[in-house]
């Protein structure tokens, strides 16, 4: 079946531009996560949605980062006034959050390069 | 707080020889532990998970890991490496504490290369 998809796969932005990254989770998955993976590092948690509710945004690095999931399916991560330190791969994951499994299914990521 | 330390940033093995990727974790509560694999330009794929059932966990593609609470370790092994195993491997912990039982904390990764 279809997995998690993300678009665009690659994005180059000039410093100061705004970008929007899209995530289509697996159909029926109520939970959605965003992670940031810097070069040579493991992914780091950014934010979490259950349906349309953003229950945790503690990992967002600054107020330039904003995420939404208005209808409880597709999600968009928006970065305003991009900076060079925002260059990273942004990963989206979705999950059913069954008790004792917590398995998250990851998309291929969007590689953002800020020049 | 939870954290993961992957003891080797790079492991190189010959095809057909055993694989050992080491992971130590720190968690305030009874953790769930995972190993994910990341092939170039592909999404992270779950290899196996430990969630307080059997301490020896078998995963896909012949990988397994053993949860050792006394050593706070969750090392990943495979008896015989295949060329297709070459990838980045991440050890991951979720400690189900404080209601944030969904939050995954990743190690920095171990790059596995397999030589013919």
Q: Is the pLDDT of residue A100 over 90?
A: no
**Quick one: closest CA in A to B35, which residue?**
A103
Predicted local confidence at residue A53, as pLDDT:
93
Q: List per-residue pLDDT tens for chain B, 116 residues long.
A: 788 999 999 999 999 999 999 999 988 777 889 999 999 878 899 999 888 778 899 999 999 999 998 999 999 999 999 999 999 999 999 866 555 557 889 999 999 999 99
pLDDT given at position B30: 77
- Any CB–CB contact under 8 A between B50 and chain A? no
Query: What's residue A99's pLDDT?
Result: 52
Return the pLDDT at B79. Answer: 97
Task: Say what the pLDDT of residue B78 is.
Answer: 98
Residue B101: list chain A partners with CB under 8 A. Answer: 102
Closest CB from A4, A42, A45 relative to B90:
A42
pLDDT attached to residue B100 = 56
- End-to-end alpha carbon distance in chain A: 37
Q: Looking at residue A25, what is its pLDDT?
A: 96
pLDDT at B74: 96
Q: Are B8 and B21 in contact (CB under 8 A)?
A: yes
Kindly identify which residue of chain B lies nearest to residue A38, measuring between CA atoms. B108
Q: What is the pLDDT of residue A62?
A: 95
The pLDDT assigned to B54 comes to 83
Residue A22 CB-density burial (10 A; 0-12 exposed, 13-18 middle, 19+ buried): middle
Q: A39 CB near a chain B CB, below 8 Å?
A: no
Instruction: Determine the Cα angle at B114 with ends B111 and B23, to 5°.
Output: 40
What is the predicted pLDDT for the residue at A102?
63
Q: Please tell me which of the candidates A101, A104, A108 has its beta carbon nearest to residue B41.
A: A108
The predicted structure's pLDDT at residue A93: 93
- pLDDT, tens digit (0-9, with 9 covering 90-100), for A12-61: 999 999 999 999 999 989 889 999 999 989 999 999 999 999 999 999 99
Beta bridge partners of A31: A50, A95
What is the spatial distance between Cα A73 and Cα A54, in angstroms, rounded to a whole number?
Answer: 12
């Amino acid at each position: 079946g279809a997995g998690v998809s993300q678009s665009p796969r690659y994005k180059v932005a000039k410093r100061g531009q705004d970008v929007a990254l899209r995530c289509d989770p697996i159909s029926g998955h109520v939970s959605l996560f965003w992670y940031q993976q810097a070069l040579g590092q493991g992914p780091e948690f950014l934010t979490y949605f259950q349906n349309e509710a953003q229950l945790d945004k503690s990992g967002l690095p600054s107020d330039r980062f904003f995420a939404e999931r208005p209808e409880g399916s597709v999600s968009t991560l928006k970065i305003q006034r991009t900076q060079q330190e925002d260059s990273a791969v942004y990963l989206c994951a979705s999950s059913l959050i069954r008790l004792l499994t917590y398995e998250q299914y990851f998309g291929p990521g969007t590689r953002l390069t800020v020049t | 707080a939870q954290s993961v330390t992957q003891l080797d940033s790079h492991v190189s093995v010959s095809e057909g020889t055993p694989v050992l990727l080491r992971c130590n974790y720190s968690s305030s509560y009874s953790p769930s532990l995972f190993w994910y694999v990341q092939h170039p330009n592909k999404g992270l794929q779950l290899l196996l998970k430990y969630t307080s059932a059997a301490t020896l966990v078998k995963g896909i593609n012949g990988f397994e890991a053993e949860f050792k609470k006394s050593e706070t370790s969750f090392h990943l092994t495979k008896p015989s490496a295949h060329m297709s195993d070459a990838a980045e491997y991440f050890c991951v912990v979720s400690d189900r504490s404080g209601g944030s039982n969904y939050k995954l904390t990743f190690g920095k990764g171990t790059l596995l290369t397999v030589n013919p």
